Amino acid sequence: MDSFSHARGLLMPILLNQGFFVFLVLFSTIAVLQLLRTVLSRGTNKPLESCLEKPKLDSSVVVVPTINPLEEFRWENEQQHKIRAFKPIYHITMAVRSDTPSELITIDCEYLNRLGLRRELLQSENDTVHGCTSMGEDSVQELYTYLITDYLPSRYPTMFKLSHDKSMFFNLVTGENHPTIPPRDPKAALKILGTTVEEDLFLLKNTPDGHQCVAFVCCFPSGWNPSSKLGAHMTKIHTTVPSYEKIGPSIERFFSKLQVGKGVKRSNWTVQTHDKLFNVKGNHIRPGEEAEEENIEIDKTFVRAELQTLTRMPTTQAVLFSFKTYLYPIQGIKAEGLGTEFADAIEGLQKGNAPGMWRYKGAIRWGKSVCDYLRA
Ligand SMILES: *[C@@H]1O[C@H](CO)[C@@H](O)[C@H](O)[C@H]1NC(C)=O
Ligand SMILES: *[C@@H]1O[C@H](CO)[C@@H](O)[C@H](O)[C@H]1NC(C)=O
């Protein structure tokens, strides 16, 4: 999908790969040394405690992520994150940074509005915005259980509570409650998740043909049909993304190596000349599609950014790809003094290793007008 399209990565994956490799070498060296010490210490008369104190090196132990609670959190007072990652030259890259398990879900003052819109979309668009294959059912259950009974009540205790017997989940903001045992119907579970958090969620499983999308709930697609990704593998998901072949293999490797408890984040931006969050068409220009320069209405023009995460689910080992969407009025970007910087970033779409991005992101239509405005 275009969303994954953004899971692009040359630079960071390479850095990460090297980092991982160094880690692996160190880890195995330490492991061997420890083993030798343990074996040797058997021969000497070392007390038993010193053996017990040794660090555990068993990699099969499941890491249970700890969640830092935001005890005083008031969603109404929480400003939206301002993602301003504008670079003068656009390179297709994954550019991920490590993320703590606590920061998986972001909540701010738009929460209730966005949830209302999501509820309507899940009703009116149905299969377009959520779905699951038979391969995805166990991972949907795992994700549901994790978010509903562990993550959300731990992270946002002022918003979400469990009943004393832990059988019910209460959303104190919407007044809704749900069983903590996942509904048997995966779409029902996905619908509850989609109306409890604002993140769009995709679950991917590794197969001999690469990672495959096995379940999703996505109300805020940026110009693509989420249901067309269900059952698709990464290459097919990104079929319209220019230069995807440059990063596809490293994304697959990255997904395969992602460790439980060691999620990552990245962000991505484009411009849109309307205020719709749900957009199955538009925003992008497809190969062969006609496009020409347009006049735009500045007060309906937004930077659309996604804050994306990748997380490994411990039991079913699915990869969760989530993203939260932000719309920033272009007038606000200029008012912040970032006009020139952002205009450079727009023109920079054509200058890097994926020049097709200029057309793909639709800059043929809005690029000149938006840059003129930003620099005026
Ligand atoms: C990033 O931006 C593009 C817009 O060009 C959009 O299609 C895509 O959904 C976004 N997400 C990712 C992951 O890049
Ligand atoms: C959504 O579509 C499914 C079929 O895929 C149907 O069974 C269900 O009733 C629909 N739900 C709504 C709310 O329209």
- What is the per-residue pLDDT across 112-136, written as a single tens digit (0 to 9) for each? 999 999 999 999 999 999 999 999 9
Q: Are residues 35 and 175 in the same domain?
A: no
CA atoms within 13 A on the CB side of 191: 18
Distance from CA of residue 8 to its chain's centroid? 13
Q: Are residues 18 and 153 in the same domain?
A: no
Instruction: Tell me whether residue 99 is in a domain.
Output: yes
Residue 60, pLDDT score: 52
What is the number of the ligand 1 atom nearest to the C-alpha of 269? Answer: 2
Contact call for residues 94 and 249 (beta carbons, < 8 A)? no
Which residue among 200, 255, 267, 268 is best mutated to probe the pocket of ligand 1, counting the most ligand atoms within 8 A of its Cβ?
Answer: 268
Residue 101 predicted with pLDDT over 80: yes
- Give pLDDT tens digits for 349-371: 999 898 888 888 889 899 999 99
Q: Are residues 21 and 125 in the same domain?
A: no
Q: Residue 127: which domain range?
A: 85-375
* Angle, CA 220 vertex, CA 161 and CA 330 arms, to 5°: 110
- Give pLDDT tens digits for 65-100: 789 999 999 999 999 999 998 998 998 887 888 989
Which residue among 120, 124, 126 is best mutated to probe the pocket of ligand 2, counting the most ligand atoms within 8 A of its Cβ?
Answer: 126
How many whole angstroms separate alpha carbon 201 and alpha carbon 81? 19
Ligand 1 proximity of 4 Cβ (cutoff 6 Å):
yes
Ligand 1 proximity of 308 Cβ (cutoff 6 Å):
yes
Nearest CA to ligand 2 atom 8: 126
Q: Are residues 226 and 142 in the same domain?
A: yes
Ligand 2 proximity of 126 Cβ (cutoff 6 Å):
yes
Instruction: Tell me whether residue 64 is in a domain.
Output: no
What's the CA-to-centroid distance between 306 and ligand 2, angstroms? 29
Distance from CA of residue 19 to its chain's centroid? 22
Ligand 2 proximity of 127 Cβ (cutoff 6 Å):
yes
Instruction: Tell me whether residue 61 is in a domain.
Output: no
Contact call for residues 264 and 19 (beta carbons, < 8 A)? no
Q: Are residues 39 and 93 in the same domain?
A: no
Residue 247 pLDDT grade (very low, low, confident, very high; cuts 50, 70, 90): confident
Residue 63 pLDDT grade (very low, low, confident, very high; cuts 50, 70, 90): low
Pure H helices in the chain: 2-5, 11-43, 48-53, 111-124, 137-145, 152-155, 186-194, 234-237, 248-257, 330-335, 339-347, 357-360, 363-375
Strand partners, 178: 169
Q: Are residues 14 and 145 in the same domain?
A: no
Entry pTM: 0.82
Instruction: Tell me whether residue 62 is in a domain.
Output: no
Instruction: Tell me whether residue 56 is in a domain.
Output: no
Count of structural domains, the chain? 2
Residue 61, pLDDT score: 55
In sequence order, the 6+-apart residues with CB closer than 8 A to the CB of 132 are 140, 186, 187, 190, 214, 215, 216, 230
Helices (H) and strands (E) in the chain, counts: 13, 10
What's the CA-to-centroid distance between 1 and ligand 1, angstroms? 8
